[in-house]
Amino acid sequence: MDEMQEILEDFLIEAFEMIEQLDNDLVELESNPEDLELLNRIFRVAHTIKGSSSFLNFDVLTHLTHHMEDVLNKARHGELKITPEVMDVVLPSIDMMKSLLESIRDSGSDKDAGLDVENMVKKLDAISKGEVPPPSSSSNSMAFESSPEPIQSVQKVEVHVQKNETKPAEDDIDYSNLSAEDVEKEIERLLNQRMEDDKKRRKELRNMGKDLPTAPLVNINDEPTPAKVEPAPKVIETPKPVAPAPKPIQQSAPAVSAPKPAPKKQQQQEDSKDQDSKSSAIEQTIRVDVKRLDHLMNLIGELVLGKNRLLKIYNDVEERYEGEQFLEELNQVVSSISIVTTDLQIAVMKTRMLPVGKVFNKFPRMVRDLSRELNKKIELIISGEETELDKSIVEEIGDPLVHIIRNSCDHGVESPDERLQNGKSDTGTVELKAYNEGNHIVIEIRDDGRGINAEKLKSKSFEKGIITEREADSMSDKEAFALIFKPGLSTAEQVTNVSGRGVGMDVVKTNIEKLNGIIDIDSEFGRGTIIKLKIPLTLAIIQSLLVGVQEEYYAIPLASVLETVRISYSDIYTVEGKSVLRLRDEVLSLVRLSDIFGVDNVFDSGEHAYVVVIGLAENKLGVIVDTLVGQEEIVIKSLGDYLQGIEGIAGATIRGDGRVTLIVDVAALMNLAKKVDVNVVSKVKNSGGKSKQKKTAKDYCILVVDDSKTDRTIMRKSIEPLGVTLMEAADGIEALNVLKGGDYTFDAVLIDIEMPRMDGYTLANEIRKYNKYKNMPLIAVTSRTSKADRMRGIEAGMTEYITKPYSPEYLMNVVQRNINLNVEMA
């Protein structure tokens, strides 16, 4: 049972792999009908699938593949010329084969796929007939068809044998040529022979079959086959009691499709011959469940976090115990662990990599179909298909590429006439290229078609209300190109089967954004278009830029960071209420990360700010942050169900110090940025002096900081006549805590200089760091009278400097002046 199941799974995985190859080969065949090697390869694939499916009792599939094989066989022998018309039948038949295989994968049977196999078979027959004149040959092929079917249908074979005794010898030879060491093929050859022979000889053959290891498989069949006739019972005698054929298969199995085909089954040998160098026959591979790889990746993630933590601790220790003997040893251990962890991570990442060719493979066929449908001549040139990407990403980029290529074919490449008129060759080319660039893979789709008409795009978007007239005017061509990603926009004059609904490019954008990718469009009107997709290599562990915003830290995926710039606020311009920065020849909109995430502005960020330029898909945005912490490798962790889907946050990571740092979702950030409409410059100016209306003296609040109780009391006594509210603190630290606590808004602080824990200068310094206390009067009340002390006080940010002893009236006046107290004295 399990054995059967395993065989079935392997069969499906291999079949799907082979079909991918088959599609490409067939398209290539169309342009190279003479290529015998190609034909042989295609034939072998069809043949292998047929062989295996007959072992596994998929009658419908066998039936179909057999007829395909028949057509191909004729072509191989030069009896049939491969024309586009022939291909128009062969390609759909392969599609049908795919659907049958899918149905087998999903339901375990090819019986209820709901496909009109008979019709297809007839078409295939017609083709093979078309070239071979005598009608007898068609019946010949019919017989041939049933020949390799499982033995259980022997009765069928028998019938056919009777029908046509004159089986061409060449078929026989073909099989033997082909199968060589392949056991499975051997059996088929035997079957063929048997077809020619009488019943007695067939018995002998069956005995031979028993000797072969896989033979029992062939014989297994508890499934009711159409009317078993005399020879059948004997077949069933064969010892192996294997179960009613196919069971539903695990979904995951075919999806695994590890980069290299597994070496398990005999077909493999042939399969690997078929494929190019990347899977040479001797290669040793093993199929692994993706779940296991995912688990492994998670564990590595934990390890990376541990490593980060270790590095951080090492740095702390290094500072504290500088010059100690053990530090050197610790350093060695830490570095070697760190190196091994990185290597391990790369190694595991590599196990998850798939060649991007997995996705590219389906495009030759698609372009071929499209060009016929659109009556255009289009050549697809693929390069770099061996470039590798993480499995999860490979799965995601398929759809966007389909849309882009369809677009290139439909809108980009012109009709042959138009091309000739424009002085181009009548065949348009679409180039699909993949290559590595740093931590990214770039997929480039280039066509030499008519290019994008920026003006037309603008007017169309204006018509549809996507942009305003003013926006249209101020838009650069490059910005205009980005309009093609807006949903509902299509420049196609009419909606065709292929495109024009304005949905496709929106899909592209969403999917690429999901992968943290960047889209770059370049187009020259009349000359062609280049679309570049820049996608990170992997998703689970990423490089990030850590930025500080006030007291908080955020991680921005480095993949989306284009550059960082240090600017002064005077470089910021305001255009239509939005803050922008002129960066070289581009105008960049700016947004404060603290505005987006609602971070309290407690510190003043000074004259300068850092702008992190982030790019995603085709958009760019400048994000203002307070500090750049550095680059760090982070492991993405989910925030859990409770906090899932917080806008602007992609997840969290644990830093070396054990703290949680949130990861910015760049795509969402860009959206949020549109909603946040705060003018960066004015915000800076205003943030200092917001105060509530004060009506009575009691609303004014003054903090008195002095370590001596007596001094505090004296100050209190002096100011009390004003009627203001007074708070006291015994030293700098305490004062700072009171201020930070935010329970009171103070209008002035009286500060003694000589204090334990934190002196008055430091306190003033600290207070001035806070935005809201930028302009608060700080009055030094001290017995230090030297000029140097005064100077120091001013430097620290003191507003007034009063020396002890002072008269109560003087202090009161100074305070009153500083807090603008106009209320009549109580």
Binding site for another protein (CB under 8 A): 302, 305, 552, 596-599, 637-643, 646-649, 652, 654, 658-662
**CB of residue 653 vs another protein: minimum separation in angstroms?**
8
Residue placing its CB nearer to another protein in the complex, 252 or 638:
638
Number of H helices, E strands in the chain: 32, 23
Residue placing its CB nearer to another protein in the complex, 654 or 748:
654
C-beta separation of 622 from 588 below 8 A: yes
**CB of residue 640 vs another protein: minimum separation in angstroms?**
6
The number of CA neighbours under 13 Å toward the Cβ of 378 is 34
Residues 147 and 175: their CA atoms lie apart, in Å, by 12
End-to-end CA distance of the chain: 99
Q: Which of 9, 14, 20, 47 is catalytic?
A: 47
Residue placing its CB nearer to another protein in the complex, 467 or 549:
549
**CB of residue 655 vs another protein: minimum separation in angstroms?**
9
Residue placing its CB nearer to another protein in the complex, 552 or 699:
552
Q: Which of 192, 361, 407, 511 is catalytic?
A: 407
Write the CB contacts of 62 (distance below 8 Å, at least 6 apart in sequence): 50, 53, 54, 148, 149, 150
Q: Kindly give the residue spans of alpha helices, DSSP state H, lying in 321-427.
A: 325-351, 357-360, 363-374, 391-407, 416-421
**β pairing state of 440-447 and 427-437:** antiparallel
Can you read off the two tokens belonging to residue 182? 């392949």
Residues 387 and 173: their CA atoms lie apart, in Å, by 40
**CB of residue 642 vs another protein: minimum separation in angstroms?**
5
Can you read off the two tokens belonging to residue 469? 């007239």
Residues 741 and 727: their CA atoms lie apart, in Å, by 13
**CB of residue 654 vs another protein: minimum separation in angstroms?**
5
Q: Residues of 263-279 as b/e, b for ≥16 C-beta within 10 angstroms?
A: bebbbbebbbebbeeeb
Residue placing its CB nearer to another protein in the complex, 654 or 753:
654
Report long-range pairs for 710-717 (Cβ below 8 Å, ≥24 apart).
711/752, 711/781, 711/804, 714/808, 715/750, 715/781, 715/811, 717/808
**CB of residue 634 vs another protein: minimum separation in angstroms?**
12
Nearest one of 823, 785, 820, 790 to 805, comparing CA atoms: 785
Residue placing its CB nearer to another protein in the complex, 71 or 596:
596
Write the DSSP assignment of 617-642 as a string of letters: BTEEEEEEESEEEEEEEEE-B---ST
Residues 40 and 48: their CA atoms lie apart, in Å, by 12
Nearest 5°: the CA angle 393, 396, 397 is: 90
Query: Is residue 47 annotated as a catalytic residue, yes or no?
Result: yes
Can you read off the two tokens belonging to residue 818? 């500083």
Residue placing its CB nearer to another protein in the complex, 264 or 637:
637
Residues 519 and 766: their CA atoms lie apart, in Å, by 45
Residue placing its CB nearer to another protein in the complex, 335 or 644:
644
Q: Which of 69, 184, 479, 513 is catalytic?
A: 69
Residue placing its CB nearer to another protein in the complex, 659 or 692:
659
**CB of residue 601 vs another protein: minimum separation in angstroms?**
14
**CB of residue 337 vs another protein: minimum separation in angstroms?**
17
**CB of residue 117 vs another protein: minimum separation in angstroms?**
46
Nearest one of 158, 153, 152, 146 to 121, comparing CA atoms: 146
Catalytic residue numbers, as ranges: 47, 69, 407
